Amino acid sequence: MRLALAVACFLAGAAHAVEDPYPWIASAYLVKRDEVVLWAGSADSRLPLASLAKMMTALLALERGGLDEPVKIGRGVLQATGTRIGLKPGEQVRASDLLAATVVRSANDACRALAEHLGGSVRIFVQAMNGRAVMLGLGDTKFADPCGHDREGQYSSAADLVVLAEQVMRHDEYMRLARQQRVTIRTLDGRSFTLRNTNALLGRYPGAIGLKTGHTEGAGNCLVALAERDGVRVLAVLLNAPNRWWNAAGLLDRAFAAAR
């Protein structure tokens, strides 16, 4: 009887081990400090993820390598909507520059060109995205578009996106790009683009590193925020957060304060 009571108490405590003290900040969120989950709300809910999908596109590009390869831009970029940098069919851009535009500016024409280059077609590349998601154990994630446009059947969860974020964080090139407030890329014939990072925390929030922003009508404002201070690293994922910058900064502040 005592053993059963002890087990019941343990399970009850485990169920409440991760608090949800901020249910109003986002439809779903999760905050980790140095690999430990501090707070989470609806972290396993399947929701649209907007351009946070580009983290998987970037991961596949980084894992494949060959970023020095020239990429001939196809006519598919003409179908890109939302944020674009104005790539033209027929011009050539190095894969590394397409990656930079995808990560820093969240440019959909660069993202689509990169996906077509890596997969041969968007459809085949999306299959690769889903295959990698399975390998990572992302049971609440399914991709239908490499750039994160609203598509039927495309979703992820805050918990899955933390896992994906931690994978891209293993790549120095992603981390270098994510923290850049501005980058300049060029086509091989010399046309240049100076791109500003979509992450408003960079240069404003002490210790901010990146990691990825997203917004669509279906997903709302989404954010993967990473910051580091005095060797302490905090990672936060917010899905459909109306006040994402303010709320992300507040979560990061509280996480750093709790580490003292």
Tell me: pLDDT of 7 over 70: no
The residue from 51, 96, 156, 157 that is catalytic is 51
Question: Given this model, what pLDDT does residue 16 score?
Answer: 37
pTM of the entire predicted model: 0.92
> For residue 202, is pLDDT > 80?
yes
List, for residues 85-134, the tens digit of each pLDDT value: 999 999 999 999 999 999 999 999 999 999 999 999 999 999 999 999 99
Q: Which residues, at least 6 apart from 102, have a Cβ–Cβ distance to it below 8 Å? A: 54, 57, 58, 110, 111, 114
Query: What tokens appear for 11 in the block?
Result: 């399970």
Give the CA dihedral 222, 99, 154, 124, nearest 10 degrees: 180
Which pLDDT value is given to residue 19? Answer: 77
Whether residue 5 has pLDDT greater than 80 = no
Any catalytic annotation for residue 142?
no
Q: CA-CA distance, 26 to 224, in Å (whole number)?
A: 12
Closest to 248 in 3D by CA, of 217, 197, 214: 214
| pLDDT at position 260 over 90 | no
Residue 214 pairs with which residues in a beta bridge?
A: 222
Task: State the residue for tokens 């279906």.
Answer: 218
- Select which of 106, 142, 157, 212 is catalytic: 106
Tokens standing for 83?
């944020």
Q: Output the six-digit token pair for 107.
A: 């440019």
Q: Is the pLDDT of residue 2 over 60?
A: no
Sequence spans of domains, the chain = 18-258
User: What rounded mean pLDDT belongs to the chain?
Assistant: 93
Annotated catalytic residue 54: yes
Element (H, E) at 95: helix 95-100
159 — pLDDT class (breaks 50, 70, 90): very high
Mean local confidence (pLDDT), 7-34: 70
User: How do strand 182-186 and strand 192-196 relate by DSSP bridges?
Assistant: antiparallel
The mean per-residue pLDDT over the stretch 183-209 comes to: 97
Which is higher by pLDDT, 59 or 16? 59
Instruction: Examine the pLDDT at 139 and tell me if it is beyond 60.
Output: yes
Mention every residue, 6+ apart, whose C-beta is less than 8 A from residue 128: 60, 118, 119
* Alpha-carbon distance values, 38 to 17, 191, 232, 240 (Å): 9, 46, 13, 20
Query: In whole angstroms, how far apart are CA 221 and each of 57, 215, 237?
Result: 20, 5, 11
Q: Which of 32, 42, 54, 157 is catalytic?
A: 54
User: Which residues, including other chains, have CB under 8 Å from residue 210's CB and lie 6 or more apart?
Assistant: 175, 177, 178, 179, 197, 199, 202, 224, 225, 226
What's the pLDDT tens digit per position in 76-95?
999 899 999 999 999 999 99
pLDDT at 259: 76
Pick the CATH number of 18-258 from 1.10.10.10, 1.10.3720.10, 3.40.710.10, 3.30.1330.40: 3.40.710.10
Known active-site residue 192: no
Please check whether residue 204 is in contact with residue 248, taking contact to mean a CB–CB distance below 8 angstroms. Answer: no
Percent of the chain whose predicted confidence (pLDDT) is above 90: 90
Q: How far apart are the first and last CA of the chain?
A: 41
